[in-house]
Amino acid sequence: MKKITTISLVTLMMSSTIGQEVTETVTIESGQTNQTWYSLENGTQGTALAGEWDLAFDVSSSFGTSIHANTASGVSVWVYQNGDIDDWSTIDTAGFSTWSSLYNSDTSWALGAFDVTANPSDAFDVGWGIYNSITHVISGDSIHIIELANGDFKKLKIESLLSGSFNFTYADLDGNNEVSTSLTKADYQDKLFGYYSIQNEEVLDREPVVLNEWDLLFTKYTAFLPVAYPVAGILSSPNVQVAEVNGVTDVPNFYDWPSQTFTAEINEIGYDWKSFNGSGYDIASDLVYFIKTQNDDIWKVVPTGFGGNTTGDFEFTKEKLSSASLGDNDKPTISFTLYPNPNNIDNVHLVYSATKNNTFKTTIISSTGRVVNQFEVNTNHSFETKTIDVSNLESGIYFVEVTSKGQKTTQKLIIQK
């Protein structure tokens, strides 16, 4: 008699959302007035007013030096062309109309508007100042002119980054209303930026969660078309990598993430998955994004709608394709994906990825809990692909479970005949 093994599916279904497509709407509100931080695993993490800050200082590490300007909300920045920081009290704006505006990079959080003037041949030049390798202090060497969103002009000097604090001074162009203040990195533990409002003369802790709790930022930002222009789009966390796939003919059934090239450029999703048609927005119908989170989980994201200035709503579907099981140093970190899935042919491909050489036990379980196939796969540090014959499986939902040394991850497999 053939032995039938039954496994409780309650545990499998409760412990994993892999293979479930979820429709999401994330909003930055009517008028696109907010920024929204989002976790693929846990949804919206919080929002903040997009226009409440003027400057953002990199607090993500002790080495971070970048300073951003809120150009998407109307702040403009120029480096002073007629002198340096020593000319603070005697600035002369002659020729100002010919000076070039400065902008944050739209591909990296590490390059803000105050950093882009750095001399690439000088490793100690950070743009707004110079690093001293003996004292480990960055001393400011520049003056910047800032136009705030309300039309006021200010002069600004970043005086130093010393002992974890950015020290800076700003004033009216004629020197009146001078304010000297600082922003300390330690006050923003595990955040990406600490913020400052020149208009309100206050520091702001406005990121709703720490850096490892969000994957995507829905926001207005300045892109280059090729000229600088404010757009509404999606920027990724510095801990996230994204692969964009164009020209997909069957978007719902496209799961080939292992063959894609992932990038850490923060605007890989960006704004150009949509286009304005005169009255609303058309969404690209052949576009898929695969997102690798800091936990090495793989998500499939497909934009489906955008409400523009009217609602500020971003609509998309998301699907968790692979969940990495995190172990200690003696345990493998594993992830895998299945394609095609749903499956209407005789074979399904399992693509494994592991951080250690190991043997992984793979079990295919029916919706009734019956083990219909079981085998072992040897993996190494790279991808390993195994093709499985599923021609004898009836239409329905199955669960594929991979285990090794106490680590387990499960995905749903749909057979359609």
pLDDT tens digits for 320-341?
987 764 334 444 456 777 778 7
> Coil, strand, or helix at residue 83?
coil
Which residues does residue 145 pair with via DSSP β-bridges, in sequence order? 78, 155
Nearest to 53 by CA among 75, 37, 31: 75
Q: What is the mean pLDDT of the chain?
A: 89
- Quick count: other Cβ atoms within 10 Å of Cβ 330? 8
> Coil, strand, or helix at residue 88?
helix
pLDDT at 125: 92
Main-chain dihedrals φ then ψ at residue 46, nearest 5 degrees: 155, 170
Phi-psi region of 83 (alpha: psi -120 to 50; beta: other; left: phi over 0): left
> Coil, strand, or helix at residue 15?
helix
- Quick count: other Cβ atoms within 10 Å of Cβ 334? 27
Q: Is the pLDDT of residue 412 over 60?
A: yes
Fold of 9-16+327-415: Immunoglobulin-like (2.60.40)
Q: Whole-angstrom Cα distance, residue 156 to residue 144?
A: 5
What's the rounded mean pLDDT across residues 188-196? 98
Candidate from 69-73, 206-210, 252-256, 279-283 with smallest mean pLDDT: 252-256
What's the rounded mean pLDDT across residues 116-128? 90
What's the rounded mean pLDDT across residues 281-289? 98
Q: Whole-angstrom Cα distance, residue 195 to residue 176?
A: 23
Give 399: exposed, middle or buried? Use CB within 10 Å, 0-12, 13-18, 19+. buried
pLDDT of 212-229, one tens digit each?
999 999 999 999 999 999
Compute CA 370 distance to the chain's CA centroid, rounded to the nearest angstrom.
40
pLDDT at 402: 82
pLDDT band, residue 1 (cuts 50/70/90): very low
The residue among 332 and 233 whose pLDDT is bigger is: 233
The residue among 149 and 8 whose pLDDT is bigger is: 149
With a CB cutoff of 8 Å and minimum separation 6, the contacts of 220 are: 28, 32, 35, 50, 72, 73, 230, 231, 232, 233
pLDDT band, residue 160 (cuts 50/70/90): very high
Q: Is the pLDDT of residue 6 over 60?
A: no
pLDDT at 355: 59
Q: Whole-angstrom Cα distance, residue 290 to residue 292?
A: 7
pLDDT at 381: 54
DSSP state letter for 253: G
Q: Whole-angstrom Cα distance, residue 372 to residue 398?
A: 9
Q: Delimit the domains of the chain by residue range.
A: 9-16+327-415, 25-46+212-322, 55-204
Long-range contacts of 167-176 (CB under 8 A, 24+ apart): 168/140, 169/88, 170/146, 170/198, 173/91, 173/93, 173/145, 175/89
Give 383: exposed, middle or buried? Use CB within 10 Å, 0-12, 13-18, 19+. middle
Give 81: exposed, middle or buried? Use CB within 10 Å, 0-12, 13-18, 19+. middle
CA dihedral 149, 155, 161, 164 (to 10 degrees): -40
Q: Is the pLDDT of residue 195 over 70?
A: yes
pLDDT at 406: 60
Nearest to 92 by CA among 155, 146, 148: 155
Q: Is the pLDDT of residue 85 over 80?
A: yes
Compute CA 368 distance to the chain's CA centroid, rounded to the nearest angstrom.
39
Joined together, the tokens standing for residue 280 give 């609303």
| pTM assigned to the model | 0.78
Q: How far is CA 154 from CA 102, 172, 175, in A?
A: 15, 5, 9
Q: Whole-angstrom Cα distance, residue 319 to residue 317?
A: 7
> Coil, strand, or helix at residue 359?
strand
Q: Scanning the structure block, which residue is given the tokens 């696109």? A: 32
What's the rounded mean pLDDT across residues 364-371? 78
Query: 166-198 burial by CB neighbour count: b if 16+ within 10 A, else e?
Result: bbbbbbeeeeeeeeeebbebeebeebbbbbbbb
pLDDT band, residue 192 (cuts 50/70/90): very high
Q: Is the pLDDT of residue 26 over 70?
A: yes
Nearest to 322 by CA among 260, 375, 369: 260
pLDDT of 46-77, one tens digit each?
999 999 999 999 999 888 899 999 999 999 99
